[in-house]
Amino acid sequence: MSTATAPRLPRMSFEEFLAWADEDTYAEWVDGEVVMMSPASSRHQQVVVFLGTLLNLYVQARGLGTVLIAPFLMKLPGSAREPDILFIARDRTGAIQHTHLEGPADLVVEVVSPDSRTRDRREKLREYQGAGVREYWLIDPEREKAEFYVLGPSGEYAPAPVRHGRVESVVLADLWLDVEWLWSDPMPSPLSVLKEWGLV
């Protein structure tokens, strides 16, 4: 998501931020500061809808947990981010509160905007790694570049291998993604992907 240029708001606690924001507020909370987010592009939304739909169908078919799509906050130590897509494993769905996810998701997807590249690849990667997000996908539609990170035993991210144009999820067992799907115009229908995955 992009960061909007807006008047600087006063510092506030996370509880004050929750009271201030509403369902139409696109903002993140970082170290007491409110970071407003600008509207996403149509291509950004197409990728989010495509991936969100596929992940949700896969997760529901396998009974693996819950998929949520922005705007929904993920509360981490010192910040509350709004990833584009979150997956929370079945045994952790109790962490889903009315207004936010308390703690890290198991899988986070950020669809990169031109002005969010540095933030997504540095600040958020560092925060997600430190908080224990087990898998982090960075999708950049404009540059047609995708990066996939998996949390290792040392607590640090390592790039997930992409073999023959495909990446396999560690968190979502047996799920693989053909990276070229993300740049196709139009993108494949969810039904065709589900057939390739053997779910229908």
Region 68-90: mean pLDDT is: 95
Q: What percentage of residues in the chain have a pLDDT greater than 70?
A: 95
* Domain-located, residue 164: yes
* Domain-located, residue 33: no
* Domain-located, residue 187: yes
Q: Which residues, other chains included, contact 4 with Cβ-Cβ below 8 Å and sequence gap of 6+?
A: 26, 36, 37, 38
Residue-by-residue DSSP string for 58-79: HHHHHT-EEEEESS-EEEETTE
Identify residue 145 by its one-letter amino acid code: K
Q: Mean pLDDT in the chain? A: 90
* Domain-located, residue 9: no
Cα separation values, 63 from 48, 90, 93, Å: 21, 8, 12
* Domain-located, residue 18: no
pLDDT of 164: 93
User: How does residue 89 score in pLDDT terms, banded at 50, 70 and 90?
Assistant: very high
pLDDT of 198: 92
- Domain range enclosing 92: 41-196
Identify residue 182 by its one-letter amino acid code: L
pLDDT of 10: 82
Give the C-alpha separation, 2 to 168, whole Å: 28
Region 99-116: mean pLDDT is: 91
* Domain-located, residue 162: yes
* Domain-located, residue 1: no
User: How does residue 66 score in pLDDT terms, banded at 50, 70 and 90?
Assistant: very high
Give the model confidence (pLDDT) of 141-198 as tens digits. 999 999 999 999 999 999 999 999 999 999 999 999 999 999 999 999 999 999 999 9
* Domain-located, residue 69: yes
Q: Does the N-terminal peptide bond of residue 141 adopt cis geometry, omega within 30 degrees of 0?
A: no
Give the model confidence (pLDDT) of 147-157 as tens digits. 999 999 999 99
Per-residue pLDDT at 5 exceeds 70: no
CATH code of residue 186: 3.90.1570.10
Number of domains in the chain: 1
More confident residue, 91 or 120: 91
pLDDT of 91: 97
pLDDT of 120: 81
Per-residue pLDDT at 25 exceeds 80: no
pLDDT of 7: 58
Conformation bin of residue 51: beta by default, left when phi > 0, alpha when psi is -120 to 50: alpha
Where do runs of H (alpha helix) occur along the chain? 14-20, 42-62, 117-118, 125-131, 190-196
pLDDT of 151: 97
